[in-house]
Amino acid sequence: MTKRVLVTGGAGFIGSNLVHYLVKERPDWKIVVCDLLTYAGNLENISALLDENKIDFVRCDIADASNVEDLFSNYEFDLVFHLAAESHVDRSILSAAPFMKTNVLGTEHLLSAAKSHAVQRFVHVSTDEVYGSLGETGRFVETTPLDPTSPYAASKAASDLVVQSYHKTHSLDAVITRCTNNYGPYQFPEKFIPLFISNVLEGKPLPLYGDGMQIRNWLHVIDHCRALLLIAEKGIAGEVYNIGGGEASEVPNKEVALKIIHTLSASEDLLQHVTDRLAHDRRYAIDHSKLENELGWSPTVTFDQGLADTISWYQKHAAWWEHIKSGSYREYYEQNYGNR
């Protein structure tokens, strides 16, 4: 059935992958991307779809209520996938205000518009970082108390609570997803995996925070997109769903760095331990058995295969990230890594 679908943040990493996936899987849907095109948003990620008129694009700041109201009045959406966010933890440590504005206030504006325009389902894309940090054992389940560490994680936890309040107070049909760290094509090269791949390709050092033994539970972005579509269509209103890459994809950062170095036949001398960042959670691991048992989802991409494919994508798309790594990116890089 035709649906009018909004993807916020659809010019970013996960959003653009989701848009490509939805166009392929649900060709009869009318998809609109709304994105402010911050430093992290890149229309090149979806330019082929725009050129073929397969999607619409609206430049919109979700932190501006009137922008959001205009958008919802013009299109009357059935379904919203909400991914727009300030998403980089390191930047939230340098300056937290934009995170509160976009991630908390922006989410509220979208919920308010979804309520008044009778949107049938609102999928709020959140993160496992809202649960805080784990010790050596255990996994986050959906009922694990929220205990965010960084300003980024706090802003996402706050937005989750606002979503829940709209469901409980106004009966808005909303679901919350909490995924682990994603990787794959079109990820902005400030994030760990694309930063390290592109630095190796440029022959630059790899700044590894602390001892590099922080563990992340890597999820290939395509598996994330599969989960989001499934939850949009089959998930239960008011529920939270964890999305994780599975036990085998729980890998310490140092091991990821070495895998990248070895795949690209580079020297381990590129690895450079730098002072750890503030608020660096030690370990994340997600129990996604609710999603597996209730909706039949499980990850399909192994970490080794997904990483090899991702490395190959960055090798083939050097023009895409070389362009990004010039200009204002350099200022951020100097500010974040310059004194470590």
Ligand X SMILES: NC(=O)c1ccc[n+]([C@@H]2O[C@H](COP(=O)([O-])OP(=O)(O)OC[C@H]3O[C@@H](n4cnc5c(N)ncnc54)[C@H](O)[C@@H]3O)[C@@H](O)[C@H]2O)c1
Nearer to ligand X, 172 or 324 (CB): 324
Q: Which position among 86, 129, 190, 250 bears the catalytic label? A: 129
Q: How far is the CB of 209 from ligand X (least distance, A)?
A: 16
Nearer to ligand X, 41 or 212 (CB): 41
Nearest of 7, 10, 15, 59 to residue 36 by alpha carbon: 59
**Active-site annotation holds for 337:** no
CA-CA distance, 245 to 218, in Å (whole number)? 5
What does 14-26 look like in DSSP terms, one character per residue?
HHHHHHHHHHHH-
Q: How far is the CB of 231 from ligand X (least distance, A)?
A: 14
Q: How far is the CB of 216 from ligand X (least distance, A)?
A: 9
Nearer to ligand X, 199 or 242 (CB): 242
CA-CA distance, 224 to 178, in Å (whole number)? 10
Q: Enumerate the β-bridge partners of residue 209.
A: 274
Contact (Cβ atoms closer than 8 angstroms) between residue 140 and residue 134: yes
The letter for the amino acid at 193 is I
**189 is an interface residue for ligand X by CB under 6 A:** no
DSSP 106: I
Q: Which residue is nearest to ligand X (CB)?
A: 12
**84 is an interface residue for ligand X by CB under 6 A:** yes
**7 is an interface residue for ligand X by CB under 6 A:** no
The letter for the amino acid at 266 is A
How far is residue 297 CA from its own chain's centroid?
Answer: 19
In 95-186, which residue ranges form alpha helices assigned H by DSSP?
Answer: 97-99, 107-116, 151-170
**299 is an interface residue for ligand X by CB under 6 A:** no
**291 is an interface residue for ligand X by CB under 6 A:** no
Q: Which position among 35, 78, 131, 152 bears the catalytic label? A: 152
Q: How far is the CB of 62 from ligand X (least distance, A)?
A: 4
Q: Which position among 128, 160, 250, 281 bears the catalytic label? A: 128
**182 is an interface residue for ligand X by CB under 6 A:** yes
**285 is an interface residue for ligand X by CB under 6 A:** no
Q: How far is the CB of 239 from ligand X (least distance, A)?
A: 17
Nearer to ligand X, 119 or 163 (CB): 163
**Active-site annotation holds for 268:** no
Q: Which two tokens stand for residue 230?
A: 């499934």
Q: Which two tokens stand for residue 281?
A: 């959670």
Residue from 127, 149, 198, 199 in contact with ligand X (CB under 6 A): 127
Q: How far is the CB of 35 from ligand X (least distance, A)?
A: 5
Contacts 24+ apart (CB under 8 A), 42-50: 42/11, 42/12, 42/16, 42/186, 42/188, 42/324, 43/11, 44/320, 45/11, 45/12, 45/13, 45/16, 45/186, 46/10, 46/11, 46/16, 46/19, 46/20, 49/19, 49/20, 49/23
DSSP 105: I
Nearest of 302, 193, 210 to residue 257 by alpha carbon: 193
Contact (Cβ atoms closer than 8 angstroms) between residue 288 and residue 226: no
User: Between residue 9 and residue 48, which ones bind ligand X under the rule CB under 6 A?
Assistant: 9, 11-15, 35-38, 40-41
Q: How far is the CB of 267 from ligand X (least distance, A)?
A: 28
Q: Which stretch binds ligand X (CB under 6 A): 48-56, 165-173, 181-189, 225-233?
A: 181-189
Print the binding letters for residues 96-125 with ligand X: x by CB under 6 A, - otherwise: ------x---x------------------x
Q: Which two tokens stand for residue 193?
A: 């995996």
**Active-site annotation holds for 128:** yes
Residue from 19, 81, 87, 194 in contact with ligand X (CB under 6 A): 87
Active site residues: 128-129, 152
Chain residues that interact with ligand X, rule: CB under 6 A: 9, 11-15, 35-38, 40-41, 60-63, 83-87, 102, 106, 125, 127, 156, 179, 181-182, 188
